[in-house]
Structure 1
Amino acid sequence: MWPQHKVEVYEQMVAELRSTLGEQAPNIPPRVLAELEGIIQAAVHTIENGAEIVAIGLPELEPESGPNVAAEAVGGSAVVEPVPVVAEPVAEPAPVKPAIDPFRHGTKAEANRQQKAKELARWLWDRNIGGEQVLGFTNKWRNKIARAAGVNPPSTLETWTVAAELMGRMEQLADSGTQPGASERHHLDEHEQWATER
C-alpha cells in the first residue's frame, strides 16, 4: 500500500495533468490528446485495481547506535577514540523484465483488436459519444458500453484508444462531406442513456 503522502501527490499530479489537458485541448491534436488521456486512465486503473505495492530486495536496516568506541586507560582516565565503521556494499537486485504476452502482440491479436475497435467506434458514433469522452469514463462504464455493443470488453485501454482514433477519422469524413452515408448516426435517441456515467 502506498503511504498516504504519496497517494496525495499522485492524485494532485493526475488532477493537474487533466486540468492542463483540458485548458490546452484546442491546441493538441485529438489523437495525441486521446493517447495522453489513455495513459492517465491506465495509470489510474492500475492504482485502483492493482495489487498492493511491496518493496522487494531492500536490505534490513540495523538499529542506530552511538559511535563505536574503544576506551584505553591512560593515567586513570579513559580516552575515547572512534572506531571507523565500514559499510558493506549491498548488491542491487537485477531488474525484472516484464513478461511478453505473445497473444497480446501477435498478428491475430492485432486483427481482433482492430475489429473490436471498429465495432465499438461504430456503436459509439451512432450514439454521438466522442473518443475523448469515452476515454474519460471509468473502466466499469466502458465495459458496460462494450457489452451493450455486443463486444467482449477489451482487457486494455489500447482497444478504446484505437476506437477513439477511428471516431476522429469519422469526424473528419463527416466534416469533409465526402462520405455522408457512412457518417450518419442511427441511434441518437440513446445518446443520453450512454453519454453520462451511472
Structure 2
Amino acid sequence: MAAYAWARDIRSAELLALPAATLRKLARAADTNPPSTGETWRVVAELLDQKDAWAARHPEHPGAVRTHADEKLLWVKPPVKPWAAES
C-alpha cells in the first residue's frame, strides 16, 4: 500500500486525513485487503515518510521517481477555494 501511495505522490499527512471509505478503495486499488485497524495506516504513513527521505537523498535514482503522480487527484482532492462575489 505504501508503494502504491508513494508512486501517486500521496504524502503521509494526506493519507492519514483520508476518510475510511477512501482508504478502503486505496487498499483495494493496491491489490491489498483493506486493513482492519488504523495502526496499519499509521505504519504505511511512516513508510511514506521514510521513502520521501530516501528519495530526497537519492534524487537521481530511478526509484526516487513517482511514476503515477498524475493519479494523485483520484485520491487526494485539493482544497476548494471559495468563490468570492464582486461587491
Q: What range describes the TM-score normalised by the shorter chain of this pair?
A: 0.7 to 0.9
Take 1:151 and 1:132, find their aligned partners in 2: how far apart are those partners? 21
Is the aligned partner of 1:180 residue 2:61?
yes
User: Is the 2:8–2:67 Cα contact (8 Å) retained in structure 1?
Assistant: yes
Q: 2:41 pairs with 156, 160, 182, which one? A: 160
Describe the superposition over 1:103-161 as per-residue Cα deviations: whole angstroms up to 9, x where unpaired.
xxxxxxxxxxxxxxxxx110000100011111111111100111111110000011111
Alignment partners' CA distance in 2, 1:182 and 1:170? 9
Count of equivalent residues: 78
Tell me if the contact between 1:173 and 1:179 (Cα under 8 Å) persists in the aligned partners.
no
Q: Does 1:127 pair with 2:8?
A: yes
Q: Deviations over 1:39-61 (max 9, x none)?
A: xxxxxxxxxxxxxxxxxxxxxxx
| Cα RMSD, aligned residues only | 1.8
Structure with greater proportional strand content: 1
| Bigger relative contact order, structure 1 or 2 (CA pairs below 8 A, ≥6 apart) | 2
Structure 1 stretches of 5 or more lacking a match? 1-119
Q: Which runs of 4+ in 1 moved over 6 A?
A: none
Is 1:151–2:32 an aligned residue pair?
yes
**Percent same amino acid at aligned positions?**
36
Query: Is this contact kept in 1: 2:18–2:76, CA < 8 A?
Result: no
